[in-house]
Structure 1
Amino acid sequence: MKPEKVLLISDFALPVKAGTERLVFGAAEWLNKKGIKTDILTPNWNNLKEKETVDGVTVYRFNTHEIHKTNPLKRINDYINAGKKLGEYDVYHGFYTMPPLLATIKLAKKMKGKSVLTFFGREQLEKNFSNPIKKLFLLNSLKKADKITTYTWNLQKHFKEKYFKEKKITTLQGWAENKFKKISCEKPKEKIVLFVGRIDSSKGIFVLLEAFEKIKDKVKAKLVFVGPPYEKEKLNQKIKESGMQDLTEVKGFVSDEELNKLYCQSEVVVVPALHGDAFGLSLMEAVVLGKPVVCTDSIGSPEGTDDKELIVERGNVEELSEMLEKILSDKKFYENAVKISGKRAVLFNKDKVMKKYLQVYSEL
């Protein structure tokens, strides 16, 4: 049965517009336009308004511990108490990190709704497994969810084989917003290597910088970083030390219009993240726009096949530099990489993905 009210539960939401934030908000926006009242519940990390409505989406924020002082149990309880005040929803959908996922299960049960979980990566779960008691507790708790979904097909396969054999797991992948479109744009003189994501060491920004330094005299290219500027100062310092100020640019946040233009101007989009299941929303956007993407983990595919030509080992500077040199200088290799993106683009159509959300909700 189609739900009337949905609550999306996430540690990350507006006003930051990184991958998780954009995905959660984009889902809420789409569902609201289809007549399903969809709100977002998130911690108030930045002393913002407790309630804010943007483009038809209402975001509820609650006070909890400071963002740099991790206290998962407190955050779970704070989620539950804040969610209870909002009244009943038909579906409670938690994303990404363990506190909102566990809170989603408990809140749905208390409020007589159904629970859906979406995992973005295996590490968010498996990093807790060094303690066997904690591992048993987490798995038993998560199995109580009415539905488990994953962000990639590879993760779906991994979870099904290792942890949730009795569960039917569905992949709810990300998408490219319809506003990201192929446009005619003047190509710059140098080839653009584009990074889009959190400007943070976990995303492999320093690995990418070091790899680019190895090829800077072999290809005429420029390295551009776009995204939340968490370690912008440190990155700028490293760039200065390398003497590559004229070959790199750290933009930080940009508008959607500018990001669309940068995608179209770029030769390749690279996000060499150091964590597992690292095929983020920016790479999906790049694929839809026909750009080759280089990353450190494969998304898999619904057919079980995989194009692994553009996967590099996490943290391997030499391998990444060789990949960049090849894709920037080998025309035949580049054309094949573009074809790979072309085959994948259909997977990340927003309307098609959101219909999968509706199907999951309706089957609860």
Structure 2
Amino acid sequence: MQGLPGGGGARFWLALLLLLQPRVGSGACPCQDPSLCNPISGSRDFEVFVFDLGGKNWMFYDWSQITTVAAFGKYDPELMCHAHSKGSRVVMKGNTSVKKIVKSAVRAAWISQQMKLAKEQYMDGININIEEEVSKDSDEYFALTALVKETTGVFHKEIPGSQVTFDVPWSPECIDSKCYNYSGIADSCDFLFVMSYDEPSQLWSKCTVTGTAPYNQTLTGYDDYLHLGISPKKLVMGVPWYGYDYLCLYFSEGHICHFANVPFRGAQCRFSAGHQIPYRIIMARAIHSISGIQWDEEQGVPHFEYKDPQGTIHQVWFDDPRSISLKATYVKERGLRGIGMWNGNCLDYSGRPIAHEQSKAMWKALKPL
């Protein structure tokens, strides 16, 4: 087995020991009940993992389901206190350049910095979100696995009951040149959050519209992870609470929408040439649809068409309660760790009756039938 870059484990732990001494202290508890600053321990049978981008939308989330919130927005102590009152973890975002972590001392410094911040903010762990290109068996390949393992070891020791997770593409097949050691990373943390969206990122033939998370393609990705020997209990399915709005240049047989060429990593065009929009905007535009919401049987996702003020036809493809329920059923049948979404802020929490029902249905869809 190839050793870790930068001098191996012994030098890493020595560097980290020096960085963590003296023990980092936490700030004053911001909760009215000081016990809410204690870390959440234990785990539930089914994980519902929510990404939150900031603001106060979290006040309207379905807290009866949520097990973990990944706080990707500005730190909000009210969110932490509220989540803890519901028995839910709040974890911080962790991000760094893979080129910087080849040396063990740099990894140790980064982990120490994250730990200090986690303690100051009374976080329950960290969600590592690194989406850079990595070549198989490169220094970065081994360093990334080492970073996850070392981070997990330190967090579990310093914050009892803490959770360390890592975000991965929809498939382990070197998607967008992300050739990570997926089985090694899975072994090194609590679980993987699989970003099962933006799947057809490179289009090699025609620039035609498709869903961001087609049902069969999504399940193929999980089959690939499981074939690597990764336990289903190490996989949380991510689903999109957003879609894409495409301006159609013309239509071919079958009313297939063709959009503008935007070359991407050698491919003729990229899937994200459309405009990404959250579910709340999608539902607002659906009211003015000229087609009604249509269901694509092959992909297992909905879509519709509308005309903009200039008279140009757009197609909007997205996931809704029906398509998400299908995937949630797979999660249950295959015994995956759970489900989650990008992101919790995408729904309409305005309180309008129709918006309330639409948002309620999206949350309900996360529960496997």
Asked if these proteins are the same fold (TM beyond 0.5), I'd say: no
Higher helix share: 1
| TM-score normalised to structure 2 length | 0.38
